[in-house]
Chain A
Amino acid sequence: MKRRQFLGRVGAVGAVGMTGSLSAPALLSSTRAAFAQGDDIPVGVLFSLTGAVAVVEHTLHDATLLAIEEINAAGGVHGKQLRPIIEDPASDPATYADRARRLMIRDKCVSVFGSYTSASRQAVLPVTEQRNNLYWYPTLYEGRECSRNVMYGGAVPNQQQDDLIPWAIENFGPRFYMIGNNYVYPKEENNYCKSLLSKLGGEVVHEEYVPLGHSDFSSVINRIRAEEPDVIFATVVGDSDVAFARQYHAAELDPAKMPVISLTRSEVEVKAIGGEAAAGHFSSAPYFMGHDTPENERFVENYKARFGADQVTHFVSEAAYFQVYQFKAALEKLDPSEITPAAIRDAAVGLTLNAPQGEVLIDENLHTHLWPKIGQWQSDGQAKVLMQSEERVAPKPYAAYEGQTCTATGLVKA
């Protein structure tokens, strides 16, 4: 009895499955027809709105949606509207992978925009590669990755440091104190910094890593006072950076003599640090809110009008914003019938776009050619751009690793 019931059910499920696939043969015969054949183009938006990284990812979510709304208001792409499908991965890497799978399979998104941390990007990586989909990642990161299914919009170490380190040595001196949080990004950045320092005759007087979320920097500050370095090279992130900057200021260390040069401090952190404590220190990034271009003026104005006058834009939200426009430009190059994630990727390579930071270009290794800048924080919480690199800097995600290059066919080892 039980066995017969079971067999019957299996039969029924099988039959449903058969009729299902028979009635929609397109699903099986051609993956191409499955994408963007409706009246609109579905795109996934995968930023955490809850949990630990929500503070930053919320701004990326906002910037992405702003770009989508602007594109739709201007008539969409090929007369079709972009339809954002929003998921909240709740700051948990496993949930990122799960939601990305849902967006790519169930919702048939032709691309997904998402992630701030490397941990969440790496969780999505196997999903997007397996589905041969496209994941647009806006954050600066440590490099050492070369996926054909991720569009990297942020800076890699060579783009943040190639101009910065010689400039810092020339202006302040060769003795560097490295302080970072204890995870992969600070270590890789410091690795690259050390290779530059050894070429330029600089030295590392101390290198240390504090746990993520660390909030008492009194021993670090005592050590800095004792070592008297020329430059504090900081890769401290989020709330740790806020605590570090405030305590550094409270200890009355002079930014004119011992400036903190950060790769991670943006307008968001400075807002929490307070302009007074942040003033005089430096950050290296391709974008600052105060950068003077017509594109940026429009971006900042629209962002504030949409999300509130007290909001700030920063170097990651800028990339989240321009990546949607890169996506749009790639779609426009394609015939509407041949829209697939792989075709979008191939169309995107070589694209140039006037982003708020300047004209950016997508390299064949899917990273972005950017305009690195050095900004000095002012007491009003904005950075004054002191220097911009003379030409657009190409991304070299394996710059610290000799014999390895990220190319159009993936990672090549010599």
Chain B
Amino acid sequence: MDVVFNQLFAGLSMASILLIIALGLAIIYGTMGVINLAHGEFVMLGAYATWALQNFVGLGVVTALPLVFVAVAAVGWIIEKLMVQRLYHRPLDTILATWGIGIILQQAVRLSVGAESRFVKGPELLSGNTEIGALVMSNYRLFVIAFSIFVLVGSWMLMTRTEFGTKLRAVIQNRGISECYGIESKRIYSITFAYGAGLAGIAGALITPLFSTIPTMGTGLVVDAFLVVIVGGLGSLIGAASASVLIGEATALLSAVMNDTLGRIAVLAGIIILIRFRPRGLFPSDTRN
């Protein structure tokens, strides 16, 4: 029984990391229809930004978060202005273009910072465990879970409770009419893309104390993030949240029953079966086309 509770917590922890990575991807896809294959590299940039801030400025992981968000969002904003903006009418080409951007970012980091794994120190305050009976929870993982919920709620508020969100939803529904009403859709798109990139940056910062910081770290993560977005339903925040919990818990429980390799295989097989019966994911967003 103890094993089950510990695995449930492990699954939740996995889910929180997945969610925070996938959220930016879901928002960018949901609003703009851009499949951003450079998303993993935004995560990697976030990790390296954290490393740089810690090594050269002396900031801790948590205090660096706002700066990392701004820095990676700025990179996203520039990329949107330079490239993605020109491709909104050619959604398939955005896949190739963002993939190329990903390669450029990865090699740029490799050439400037180096290929070897970098060390980022975790926050002192959050080291250690919280134990409830036999359930052992790492404080840092608890923090990541809380933070991912915070980001989810924040994104939801931004979409539904602000003027920006109203404009954004208007542009999603009908870009032409929105522009007639004086909404600058280009600006809305730039900000949304930058926001999605910034979230990826935060994800990168949060995982540095747990994972290994290398230029290729984003490649595997973006695959998991896509799984979440596909299972959850493209562009749906609730979908992304429930899909990350589902995938995280399924991975944790199946790897407890079998092992990590077989658990992973079982999860992937499950996803294939799921999209056979629900091709648009668990919570497809109802858009009028």
* Residues in A lying within 8 Å of B, measured CB to CB: 52, 54-55, 58, 182, 208-211, 213-216, 218-220, 222-223, 225-226, 238-240, 242-243, 246-247, 250-252, 268-269, 271-274
Q: How far is the CB of A238 from chain B (nearest CB, A)?
A: 8
Are the C-beta atoms of A272 and B117 separated by less than 8 Å? yes
- B residues contacting A by CB (< 8 A) are 2-3, 6-7, 9-10, 13-14, 17, 115-119, 121-122, 127-129, 136, 138, 140-141, 209-214, 216-217, 220, 252, 255-256, 259-261, 263-264
Given A218-B10, A242-B212, A247-B210: A55 in contact with B116 (beta carbons within 8 A) = yes
Are A210 and B260 CB-contacts (below 8 A) given A222-B7, A226-B2?
yes
Known: A250-B122, A250-B127. A243 touches B212 (CB 8 A): yes
Determine the distance from Cα of A269 to Cα of B10 in the docked complex, in whole angstroms: 25
| CB proximity of A389 to chain B, nearest CB, Å | 31
Q: Is A268 within 8 A of B116, CB to CB?
A: yes
12 A-B pairs within 8 Å (CB atoms) are namely A58-B115, A208-B260, A218-B9, A218-B13, A226-B2, A243-B210, A243-B211, A246-B122, A250-B138, A250-B140, A252-B138, A268-B116
Task: Pick the 8 closest A-B CB pairs, nearest first.
Answer: A272-B117, A218-B10, A242-B212, A239-B212, A222-B6, A219-B255, A210-B260, A208-B259
Q: Which of B2, B217, B260 is A219 in contact with, Cβ under 8 Å?
A: B260
Q: Which of A55, A222, A269: most chain B Cβ within 10 A? A: A222
Which has the most chain A C-beta neighbours within 10 Å: B9, B10, B211, B212?
B212
Contact between chains at A214 and B260 (CB < 8 Å): yes
A211-B136 contact given A272-B119, A272-B212, A274-B121, CB 8 Å threshold: no
Contacts of A240 in B (CB 8 A): 212
Whether A242 and B117, one on each chain, are in contact in the complex, defined by CB atoms closer than 8 angstroms, is yes
* In the complex with contacts A239-B214, A251-B129, A225-B259 CB distance below 8 A: no
A55 & B210 in contact (Cβ 8 Å cutoff): no
For the complex, what is the distance from the CA of A216 to the CA of B213, rounded to whole Å? 13
Contact partners of A216 in chain B: CB under 8 A: 14, 17, 210
Interfacial chain A residues near B115, Cβ < 8 Å: 54-55, 58
Chain B residues closer than 8 Å to A273, beta-carbon distance: 119
Apart from A208-B259, A222-B10, A246-B212, what are 19 other A-B pairs with CB-CB below 8 Å? A55-B214, A208-B260, A211-B260, A215-B210, A215-B217, A216-B17, A218-B13, A218-B141, A219-B256, A222-B6, A239-B212, A239-B217, A242-B211, A251-B136, A251-B138, A252-B128, A268-B116, A272-B117, A272-B118
Closest to B128 in A: A252
CB proximity of A245 to chain B, nearest CB, Å:
9
- Asked if residues B14 and A211 are in contact (CB atoms below 8 Å), the reply is no
Q: Smallest distance from the beta carbon of B166 to chain A beta carbons, Å?
A: 38
A246, B129: Cβ atoms closer than 8 Å: no
B57 to chain A, nearest CB (A): 18
A52, A223, A250: the one within 8 Å of B210 (CB): A250
Closest chain A residue, CB of each to CB of B127: A250
State the CA gap A248–B141 with chains docked (Å). 13
Bound CA span A213–B221, Å:
11
Alpha-carbon separation in the docked complex, A274 to B17 (Å): 22
Q: B10 — which chain A residues lie within 8 A by C-beta?
A: 218-219, 222
Does the CB pair B220–A213 fall under 8 Å?
Answer: yes
B96 CB → nearest A CB, Å? 22
Task: Indicate the member of A219, A239, A240 with the most B CB atoms within 10 Å.
Answer: A219
Nearest CB in chain B to that of A381: its residue: B119
Residues in A neighbouring B213, C-beta threshold 8 A: 272
What separation, in Å, do the CA atoms of A242 and B47 have in the docked complex?
15
Q: CB distance A210 to B261 under 8 Å?
A: yes
A209 to B211, CA, bound (A): 18
Q: What's the Cα separation between A210 and B128 when bound, in Å?
A: 25
Whether A271 contacts B140 by the Cβ 8 Å rule is no
Contact B252 A211 (CB under 8 A): no
A226 and B3 contact, Cβ closer than 8 Å, known pairs A54-B115, A219-B256, A273-B119: yes
Q: Are B261 and A209 in contact (CB under 8 A)?
A: yes
CA–CA, A274 and B211, complex, Å? 12
B211, B216, B261: which contacts A211 (Cβ < 8 A)? B261
- In the complex, A108→B265 CA distance in Å? 47
What's the Cα separation between A182 and B261 when bound, in Å? 8
List chain B residues, Cβ under 8 A from A246.
122, 209-212
